Structure 1
Amino acid sequence: MKRFIKDYLLTVFVLSPIVCLWIQFALGETDIFNRNYLVSLAVAFLTSTICLCGGEILLTSHSFLRQKFSLKEIEKKNYLLVLFRILLVVPGLDISYRLIDIFLDDFTYSGQIEQFYGGIFYTSLILLTTFVFNLVSEIKAVKKETKLKLQALEIENLKAKLKILTTQMNPHFLFNALNSIASVVLDRPEIAEEMIIKLSKLYRASLKSTEKDTHSLKDELSLCRDYLEIEKMRFEHRLNLRFEIDHTLDLNHYQIPVLYIQTLVENALKHGLSDKIEGGTIWLRIFKKGSSLIIEVEDDGQGIKVKSTEQKDGHKNSLQNCEKRLLLLNEKSTFDFEMREIGTLVTSRIQIEEAI
């Protein structure tokens, strides 16, 4: 109904008077608002009303019959509507001229054949112009809707980043780290102070990840070492670390997601070594192979046999989050996860030209 009222007002009260005036100018009439103009305006008014109302009736009847006989609905109803309206131009003009012939004594329908054919063209032009206005309005509405959807996606992206902030650092790690620091604060205050500084760096990086998605490989390795030193306070001799970093690599040259390697190492420690009484070893290998930067995190923990289904699912879910972050950085990257009889190996491959 809203569309019909808009079309009716545009057609009858805007376009019809303008077209009728244009016809008067084209005919060279000096007295613009004469009897011929009023007759033309009356014809345009009556014909437009018949075409618009008739078009709505035909479209409604068409939809009703399709629904009744379970036929597929036509998506582009606007095009169908303008077709119905144009089809009604000839009968609409015929009815209009006959009505005017009834009310005006000096007006004869038979003498208006030339005007009748001209009326077909001008009325069709008016209806098509109305359709173009609607089409432009529809395009603007779609653009506005798209813009709103993009704004909604940006909001969702911000929410996702906040979610990453709350889940990035394991809360159990925080509790354990604070307990470890508390245990040495009296006997070795300098060690406790150093651990607090390292812990603050990790949480600062977690906050940073909501503002900046990536940082240099050198910064990531520094955070990873801080994390492992804190954990080594708790595990002591049960945790062995092996860093195998290609010394020819320029660690400032490559960009990776913030806390990416730290998450992989934390995952290996939590799911691989934490429940292993004698502890174990975590290997971190970073090297160049062809056009790829390879990052490997391996542990000799419990392996696939000892893990319960719940542990396996938790392990996979945390690694899937890492994989998603890696693919957001570079869609050509690959992420491989191998759970062995003893231990786990996670391999990340980043295209060097994309990682710069």
Structure 2
Amino acid sequence: MFSKAFSTPSRANWVIQGAGLIWLLVTASILNYYGLSLALAFTDALVYALAFLGGVVVLDRIFSFYIPKGANTWLLLILPLILSLIGTLLHRYVGAWIFEEDDLYRKLLGDHFYLRWAILAIMEAMVTLLAIVVSKLEQQEASQKRELHIMELSKEAELTQLRQQLQPHFLFNSLNSINALVVSESKKAREMVLQLSDFLRGTIRKDHQTWISLEEELAYLKLYLEIEKVRFGHRLQVEFEVSEEASQMQLPQLLIQPLLENAIKHGLYGITGEVNILIKAAKKQNYLIIMIENPYDPETPAQDGTGFGLSSVERRLYLLFGRNDLLTKEAKNSTFSIELKIPQLK
């Protein structure tokens, strides 16, 4: 990770390169200002810059294999100090060798040796700290990406599990109804088996991540209702009030079916007469609003095993949108109503 901070064309790399170029120009300008010729000043500045870059490369190689931690963090200071000393010595001897006949320059090298060492040490220490900060930030970013990926996988796994639970939940209810019809009304039992086959064939192939139009969702709901009408006969009446604008809005597939199944159970359990269920759909701002109303008998105790459909839809909505306010329930005047709000992503 430390090596990556130097080797990749990152923002930190551009900063180091830009600082090196500015350092070269400033050093050459200062030396020229204090009496050195332009050629000598640029040569000196170039050798000094190469000493700096050599130290950076060595630090890169060292810390790419080993980053000091704990009691060994003192190496973060000692190594730049040692490398800057070596670089300053090389600069001094190379400069004296190139310009061995220039006594003034040789004296300048000796007089400013410790100053050059201090400057080089500070620069290499700063580069070391910068690279470590970049490395830590990259590690933190990679860790956050892994956590987000794990959360996404977990969410997808739970959504898949919820759907896999809903299918058997509905299937078991239908099979129980078929079992009850086999002896008394075998023709209706066969009809229900065929309709159940059509419904499952269309829904099992669906990708739970795919959003579909409300119009398509209602088509599957009507297949489901055909099955339930075989089960309950004329007692079950469902009315749809769907605006044209709402019919083209999008929603996660098979989101309404558990709510309708819940309405049928609550509406038909404990009521002997005909039961009318109303499904409304309309657009409100950037939401698809779906309302399901069914009659219920407040005096009748709740049927065992009910409630899974509502809780599964609530959980799906939370996993998809991170909100708990998209499904509201109300029981008033022997009418149970559910309002579903689906934010539109586009």
TM-score bin (small chain):
0.5 to 0.7
Aligned equivalent of 1:29, options 74, 79, 96: 96
Aligned residue number for residue 311 of structure 2: 317
Aligned residue number for residue 177 of structure 2: 180
Equivalent positions of 1:84-123 (< 5 A) are 115-116=113-114, 118-123=116-121
Q: Deviation digits for residues 289-319 of structure 1, max 9, x if unmatched?
A: 677543211001124x545699997686355
Aligned residue number for residue 87 of structure 1: none
Aligned residue number for residue 235 of structure 2: 238
Question: Alpha carbons of 1:137 and 1:319: their partners in 2 closer, same or farther (altered >3 Å)?
Answer: closer
Query: In 2, distance between residues paired with 1:138 and 1:326?
Result: 32
More off after superposition, 260-269 vs 174-183: 174-183
Query: In 1, distance between residues paired with 2:217 and 2:114?
Result: 81
- Secondary structure of the residue aligned to 1:317 is helix
Aligned residue number for residue 347 of structure 1: 339
Q: Deviation digits for residues 258-305 of structure 1, max 9, x if unmatched?
A: 1122122112123343343446221112245677543211001124x5
8 A Cα contact 2:326 2:341, kept in partner? yes
Query: In 1, distance between residues paired with 2:304 and 2:187?
Result: 40
- Secondary structure of the residue aligned to 1:136 is helix
8 A Cα contact 2:289 2:340, kept in partner? yes
Question: Alpha carbons of 1:192 and 1:270: their partners in 2 closer, same or farther (altered >3 Å)?
Answer: closer
Q: CA deviation at 1:220?
A: 0.6
Q: Deviation digits for residues 101-151 of structure 1, max 9, x if unmatched?
A: xxxxxxxxxxx9965555544433343332222212212211221222122
- Secondary structure of the residue aligned to 1:337 is strand
Question: Alpha carbons of 1:343 and 1:321: their partners in 2 closer, same or farther (altered >3 Å)?
Answer: farther
Query: In 2, distance between residues paired with 1:190 and 1:163?
Result: 30
8 A Cα contact 1:168 1:206, kept in partner? no
Query: In 2, distance between residues paired with 1:316 and 1:198?
Result: 25
| Consecutive unaligned residues in structure 1, runs of 5 or more | 32-111
Aligned residue number for residue 221 of structure 2: 224
Aligned equivalent of 2:253, options 251, 258, 267: 258
The one-letter amino acid paired with 1:338 is: E
| Consecutive unaligned residues in structure 2, runs of 5 or more | 1-66, 99-109
Query: In 1, distance between residues paired with 2:187 and 2:310?
Result: 40
Aligned: 1:336 with 2:328: yes
The one-letter amino acid paired with 2:132 is: N
Query: In 1, distance between residues paired with 2:111 and 2:286?
Result: 80
Aligned equivalent of 1:215, options 212, 217, 234: 212
8 A Cα contact 1:280 1:301, kept in partner? no
Identity of aligned residues (%): 23
Q: TM-score, normalised by structure 1?
A: 0.60
Q: Deviation digits for residues 313-354 of structure 1, max 9, x if unmatched?
A: 7686355336537746xx8x9543222241211223456xx3
8 A Cα contact 2:287 2:342, kept in partner? yes
8 A Cα contact 1:181 1:196, kept in partner? no
Question: Alpha carbons of 1:115 and 1:223: their partners in 2 closer, same or farther (altered >3 Å)?
Answer: same
8 A Cα contact 2:330 2:337, kept in partner? yes
Aligned: 1:125 with 2:120: no
Count of residues paired in the alignment: 265
Question: Alpha carbons of 1:257 and 1:325: their partners in 2 closer, same or farther (altered >3 Å)?
Answer: farther
Question: Alpha carbons of 1:151 and 1:324: their partners in 2 closer, same or farther (altered >3 Å)?
Answer: closer
Equivalent positions of 1:43-192 (< 5 A) are 115-116=113-114, 118-169=116-167, 171=169, 173-182=170-179, 183-184=181-182, 186-187=186-187, 191-192=191-192
The one-letter amino acid paired with 2:330 is: E
8 A Cα contact 2:281 2:291, kept in partner? yes
8 A Cα contact 2:81 2:121, kept in partner? no
The one-letter amino acid paired with 1:133 is: A
Q: TM-score, normalised by structure 2?
A: 0.61
Question: Alpha carbons of 1:176 and 1:164: their partners in 2 closer, same or farther (altered >3 Å)?
Answer: closer
Q: CA deviation at 1:16?
A: 2.8
The one-letter amino acid paired with 1:320 is: E
Aligned residue number for residue 198 of structure 1: 198
The one-letter amino acid paired with 2:97 is: T
- Secondary structure of the residue aligned to 1:285 is strand
Question: Alpha carbons of 1:156 and 1:225: their partners in 2 closer, same or farther (altered >3 Å)?
Answer: same
Query: In 1, distance between residues paired with 2:145 and 2:316?
Result: 30
8 A Cα contact 2:278 2:294, kept in partner? yes
Question: Alpha carbons of 1:310 and 1:318: their partners in 2 closer, same or farther (altered >3 Å)?
Answer: farther
The one-letter amino acid paired with 1:300 is: P
Q: CA deviation at 1:21?
A: 2.5
Question: Alpha carbons of 1:312 and 1:343: their partners in 2 closer, same or farther (altered >3 Å)?
Answer: farther
More off after superposition, 339-348 vs 8-17: 8-17
